[in-house]
Amino acid sequence: MPAVLAIENSSYPRPWSEQQFLQELQASYARINLLFLDSDLAAYLCYWLASGEMNILNVATAPGYRRKGGARKLLEYAFSQAEAMNIESAYLEVRTGNVGAISLYRDFGFNDDCIRRAYYSDGEDALLMSCALKSPFNDGV
């Protein structure tokens, strides 16, 4: 937990608390995946898999490991888990100023849905994005 909190605190102006992470760990639909590189925690991804949807809540990478593909690896793994559970769509909110994350999400097929004005406590807007993972009309044939 200390390594997760260190990354969280270095990544966000309003970081999650230890209690928020512990609450996620208690929910049956919640997942927290950790990526270790060189025996260091390099990144983590928190998401929900429920009711046919994946909701990506929190992605962060340690400063020394940014731009090295860690978040991409975690997203690939999360998408494989969602696919195994027949999840049909994914959703997330991202700060409009987080250009790198937006680009990464678009690489995964996310589309811009709408802007949520002043969504974050500091007044920054959020971009709501979604992605179809599996069409209910396509049985894979």
Q: Over its length of 141 residues, how does the chain's per-residue pLDDT go in tens digits?
A: 999 999 999 998 889 999 999 999 999 999 999 999 989 999 999 999 999 999 999 999 999 999 999 999 999 999 999 999 999 999 999 999 999 999 999 999 999 999 999 999 899 999 999 999 865 444 443
In percent, the amount of the chain with pLDDT more than 90 equals 89
- Structure letter (DSSP) for residue 27: -
Query: Is residue 6 in some structural domain?
Result: yes
Does 72 reside within a domain? yes
Q: Is 138 a domain residue? A: no
| Residue 76 is assigned to a structural domain of this protein | yes
Range of the domain at 77: 2-132
Number of domains in the chain: 1
Amino acid at 61: T
**63 within some domain:** yes
pLDDT, one tens digit per residue, over 65-82 is 999 999 999 999 999 999
In angstroms, how far is CA 49 from the centroid of its own chain? 12
Instruction: Let me know: does 80 contact 92? Beta carbons within 8 Å.
Output: no
CATH number of the domain within which 108 lies: 3.40.630.30
The answer to whether position 141 is within a domain reads no
